[in-house]
Structure 1
Amino acid sequence: MTLDPEKFESDNESHDALLQLGQRLLSEHYRFVTVTPLTHQRVNDRTANCEARSLRDVFGWSRPFAAGLLTEQEHKALLDTGVLRADGNMWMSNVRWSSLDHSLFVHSSFPTLANDSVFFGPDTYRFAQAIEDFLRTSVHPIQTAVDIGCGSGVGAILIARARRSSRVLALDINPTALKYTDVNASLAGVDNVYVCHSDILAGTSENFDLIVANPPYMQDTEQRAYRHGGEHLGSELSVRILKQSIEHLSPGGSLVLYTGASFVDGVDLFLEQSLSLINRSDLAWIYREIDPDVFGEELETETYHEAERIAAVVLTVTRKE
């Protein structure tokens, strides 16, 4: 492996406690589709939803629960490893579990306020669909792949499961993301995902057959790592990823970048910055707007007072053979 960032070392007790919880939820056919934060809050604000009545309420809707929903042994293991916390005379989970097809992924509980929160939501489902669409139509062999800013590990795990002979790197600067990716890969039963700490592709001279990324793309005034995409209304990080990824594509290799694009006076700020990078004779690219209007509530903030909309987009860049 030519990539040599700091290798992530899992906390075995925490890993095992989360893995066992995930296995139990799978065995009980637990399913939860994670919605937008606004929808989540609206549903939880209903009077009948002030307290959890099921594991789905605890680990999906992030509602307080009374002792007894978990076995005493489970409760102690999750409390000792920081998965649970006290909330007055009730308890709360610090994690959520979300469904994607027939798999479960652990990520941060609602609301995602901490700087090291690991987000999973509607963007994740769209990102997964973009990867699956690419894998379904691509004929180029994938021996090496990387998921940049892996979060809960969805991208890496989807690739690893679809291409069992490939070596898939899951990279993130957030140790919590690496921890959850490690658990999720174990739960998914894939042994070809390698979790490492890295800032984008820092420290590697390696080229890849497939690079995927779903970076944060909002300009967050609090600069929370899970949400902040930098300047230019959040497009700065996506452009950095694009620039580095292009130089690390093997011949025939592709980048699938799912991100957000803010429009000002009809101009797509992300695409405008990207064109100078991708309009090259050795590259082919496709740009798709897959949802024209996401995070509309941001348009009410001072930061986005000039924006007319934010779109979810997928940029696929391929190095010609």
Structure 2
Amino acid sequence: MRTMLSATTHAPPLRDAALRRLGAALKAIGYEFTTVTPGTHERVNRRPGNAEGHTLSDVLGWSRPFRPGALPEDVVRLLVDAHALRRDGDLWYSLIRVSSFDGELFVHSAFPAAGPDAVFFGPDTYRTVDAALAHLAAAGAAPGRVADVGTGSGAVAVAVARRVPQAEVIAVDINPTALRYARINAALAGTVHVDVRRSDLLDDVPGDFDLIVSNPPFMIDPEGRAYRDGGGPHGHDLPLAVLDTAARRLTPGGSLVLFSGTGITGGRDPLRAAAAHRLDRTDLRWTYREVDPDVYSENLDQPAYAHADRIALSVLTATRPPDDR
């Protein structure tokens, strides 16, 4: 008999409070877990002895099923209160993962993050935060108004808000579960000035921004999963939509930091070409650099990437000239 205790997208406040208490308890005992790519995650979990979880990181990091008695009772109780456990026969599964990064803990979806409302967290999250913080460090003047577009777990917004406490930081997403987890994660970090809102890009948020950061979906996904599918034949529709939004909504002197990826064929980068076509019609000054030449290689076996020699990651930075009047 299968029993389901599932996280819902419109969770009552008590469930969110249970997740916040869980996060606080994990921070208090020094819990840490670095989330890897899905390919690495699957390989590690296939190793002998990894079929079931026996520690907190086994269950809340590696998403391994566990038996009664494997975890501390208070942790299990909080997972139950949060409706974040699924039972299948004698085994229990956590519906969430908890990852550590930048001195904070972040709640996100269990592996495999395949549901339509999945909230992904992993190496690209780390890379996006690093790119945003590097830009902040080089910019000199602190931004007054910041948008994290497609916030997911809220990691970018939290990291920026910690460095620029006086800034208005707005984190937007269209995924109700992402908005829920981003609010919980901001509360765990004590970053109460992160304003989490539902918005399609920045359509539902008025005003302009000094800094826009985004790591939108960029993969070619025939299944059309919202957290993964970038749209269009190359997976570029969403990254390019973010670029168009920034061209309209950046203040004078404001910048966009866009983390994305693309399939490279014969040395040609179609994302860079498409971005250049759009940017050449704006006043934005921009740079584009490849930050990892070969990632997610398991996707090259799929028909959607049969044309590609490799999948590369890139960071595009675009800045509006300051108004010197």
Q: TM-score, normalised by structure 2?
A: 0.93
**Is the alpha carbon distance of 1:101 and 1:122 closer, same or farther for their aligned partners in structure 2, counting shifts above 3 Å?**
same
Partner of 1:231: 232
RMSD between superposed Cα atoms in Å: 1.6
Partner of 1:49: 50
Quick check: 1:57–1:63 contact (8 Å CA) kept in 2? Answer: yes
Quick check: 1:140–1:252 contact (8 Å CA) kept in 2? Answer: no
1:186-237, Cα deviation, whole Å (9 max, x unpaired): 0111111011111111134410000000011101011000100011321111
Partner of 2:87: 86
In 2, the alpha carbon distance for the partners of 1:295 and 1:303 equals 13
In 1, the alpha carbon distance for the partners of 2:52 and 2:244 equals 47
Aligned residues: 314
Deviation at 1:10, TM superposition (A): 6.8
- Amino acid in the other structure paired with 2:48: T
SS in structure 1 of the partner of residue 234 of structure 2 = helix
1:5-58, Cα deviation, whole Å (9 max, x unpaired): xxx987311211111111111111111111111111111111211111111111
Quick check: 2:216–2:230 contact (8 Å CA) kept in 1? Answer: yes
1:90-132, Cα deviation, whole Å (9 max, x unpaired): 2110011111121111100011111111111111111111011
- Amino acid in the other structure paired with 1:221: P
Partner of 2:165: 164
Quick check: 2:39–2:296 contact (8 Å CA) kept in 1? Answer: no
| Runs of 5+ consecutive residues of structure 2 not aligned to the other structure | 1-8
In 1, the alpha carbon distance for the partners of 2:178 and 2:282 equals 37
In 2, the alpha carbon distance for the partners of 1:81 and 1:25 equals 15
Larger displacement relative to structure 2 (100-109 or 67-76): 67-76
Larger displacement relative to structure 2 (60-69 or 110-119): 60-69
- Amino acid in the other structure paired with 2:58: D
Larger displacement relative to structure 2 (158-167 or 260-269): 260-269
Partner of 1:269: 270
Deviation at 1:281, TM superposition (A): 6.3
- Percent identical: 46
Deviation at 1:71, TM superposition (A): 4.6
- Amino acid in the other structure paired with 1:100: F
In 1, the alpha carbon distance for the partners of 2:87 and 2:163 equals 40
Partner of 1:110: 111
Equivalent residue runs for 1:169-208 within 5 Å = 169-208=170-209
**Is the alpha carbon distance of 1:10 and 1:309 closer, same or farther for their aligned partners in structure 2, counting shifts above 3 Å?**
same
**Is the alpha carbon distance of 1:157 and 1:144 closer, same or farther for their aligned partners in structure 2, counting shifts above 3 Å?**
same
Q: Is the aligned partner of 1:100 residue 2:101?
A: yes
Partner of 1:3: none
Partner of 1:304: 305
**Is the alpha carbon distance of 1:58 and 1:82 closer, same or farther for their aligned partners in structure 2, counting shifts above 3 Å?**
same
Q: TM-score, normalised by structure 1?
A: 0.94
- Amino acid in the other structure paired with 1:68: G
Quick check: 1:10–1:182 contact (8 Å CA) kept in 2? Answer: no
Deviation at 1:72, TM superposition (A): 4.2
